[in-house]
C-alpha cells in the first residue's frame, strides 16, 4: 500500500477547485500525502477518444447550476469565470516550473491560482495574469515569471503528466487514485474518506484482531 494519493486536476475545472481545498487535510487525517498532478483535460479526453465535457448546451446549463450548488455546500467563495471554459496550460506550466525549482511553493501556487480564477475572475489564458499570480506566490520579478510559464522543461513535464493520466485511465477531473482505486468528482470526497479510514493502520489492526 502506497502512502501517496494521486490527485489529477485541471486548473480550469471548478470541481478540481472544490477538491483542492479539502484533499490535503483529508489525506493528512489518515497519514497520507497527496501528489498534485495538473493535466489538460481536453488533451486527456482527446487521447482517450472522448468528447469535450461541455460540448452540449444541456451539460453547460447543468454545470452552471451545479457548481453554484457545490460552492454553497463546501462553503467556498466562487464565481464561474468570464473566460470559461479555457485552456489551463499556462498555470500548469507554472506549477511544474515551481515543482522543479521551488517544490515547497508548487501546491500553494495551485491553491492561490484556483482562487484567482474561480473567485477573482482572472483570465486563465492571459500570460500576464498568470505571471502575476506566480510573482506574488514565488516572489519572482516579471521577467522571471514570464520565463517560467514558457519554460521548455515545464512544457515537457505537463506533457508527461497528461500521458500518465491517460495511462492511469483518467477520463475526467478531479480524478483521485488511492492504492490503485479511482475516484472521480468532488462528490466522491466522503467515499474517499471512508476508503482511507478503512485502510488506516488502526482499522487494519482492528480487522486482524477480530
For residues 106 and 64, the model is more confident at 106
Taking residues 12-19, what's their average pLDDT? Answer: 98
Taking residues 35-58, what's their average pLDDT? Answer: 90
> Using CA atoms in the order 185, 187, 191, 193, what is the torsion angle rounded to 10 degrees?
100
- Average pLDDT value over all residues in the chain: 92
What residues does each domain of the chain span? Answer: 4-209
Task: Check residue 4 and give its pLDDT.
Answer: 93
> What is the pTM for the complete model shown?
0.92
Domain 4-209 CATH assignment equals 3.40.30.10: yes
Helix (H/G/I), strand (E/B), else coil: 5: strand
Spatial distance between the Cα atoms of 175 and 172, rounded to a whole number of angstroms: 6
Q: How confident is the model at residue 199 (pLDDT cuts 50, 70, 90)?
A: confident
Task: Check residue 2 and give its pLDDT.
Answer: 63
Mapped to the 3 state alphabet, what secondary structure does 55-84 carry? CCHHHHHHHHHHHHHHHHHCCCCCCCCCCC
Helix (H/G/I), strand (E/B), else coil: 125: coil
Per-residue pLDDT reduced to its tens digit, 80-125: 999 999 999 999 999 999 999 999 999 999 999 999 999 999 999 9
Spatial distance between the Cα atoms of 21 and 75, rounded to a whole number of angstroms: 11
Enumerate residues 6+ apart whose C-beta is below 8 A from 96. Answer: 38, 106, 153, 154, 157, 158, 161
Task: Check residue 200 and give its pLDDT.
Answer: 56
Proportion of the chain above pLDDT 70, given as a percent: 94
Task: Check residue 60 and give its pLDDT.
Answer: 82
Residue 160, pLDDT above cutoff 90: yes
Residue 198, pLDDT above cutoff 70: yes
Task: Check residue 98 and give its pLDDT.
Answer: 98
* Cell numbers representing residue 77 in the block: 467563495
Cβ(138)–Cβ(102) below 8 Å: yes
* Cell numbers representing residue 46 in the block: 482527446
Enumerate residues 6+ apart whose C-beta is below 8 A from 106. Answer: 36, 95, 96, 98, 99
Amino acid at each position: 500500500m502506497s502512502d501517496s494519493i494521486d490527485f489529477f486536476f485541471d486548473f480550469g475545472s471548478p470541481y478540481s477547485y472544490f477538491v483542492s481545498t479539502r484533499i490535503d487535510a483529508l489525506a493528512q487525517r489518515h497519514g497520507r500525502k497527496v501528489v498534485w498532478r495538473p493535466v489538460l483535460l481536453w488533451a486527456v479526453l482527446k487521447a482517450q477518444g472522448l468528447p469535450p465535457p461541455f460540448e452540449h448546451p444541456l451539460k453547460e446549463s447543468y454545470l452552471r447550476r451545479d457548481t453554484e450548488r457545490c460552492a454553497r455546500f463546501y462553503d467556498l467563495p466562487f464565481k464561474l469565470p468570464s473566460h470559461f471554459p479555457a485552456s489551463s496550460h499556462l498555470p500548469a506550466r507554472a506549477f511544474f516550473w515551481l515543482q522543479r525549482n521551488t517544490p515547497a511553493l508548487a501546491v500553494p501556487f495551485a491553491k492561490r491560482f484556483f482562487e484567482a480564477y474561480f473567485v477573482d475572475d482572472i483570465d486563465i489564458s492571459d500570460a500576464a495574469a498568470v505571471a502575476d499570480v506566480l510573482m506574488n506566490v514565488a516572489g519572482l520579478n516579471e521577467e522571471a515569471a514570464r520565463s517560467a510559464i514558457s519554460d521548455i522543461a515545464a512544457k515537457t513535464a505537463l506533457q508527461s503528466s497528461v500521458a500518465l493520466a491517460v495511462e492511469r485511465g483518467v477520463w475526467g477531473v478531479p480524478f483521485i487514485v488511492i492504492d490503485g482505486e479511482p475516484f472521480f468528482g468532488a462528490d466522491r470526497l466522503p467515499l474517499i474518506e471512508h476508503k482511507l479510514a478503512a485502510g488506516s493502520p488502526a482499522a487494519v489492526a482492528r480487522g486482524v484482531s477480530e
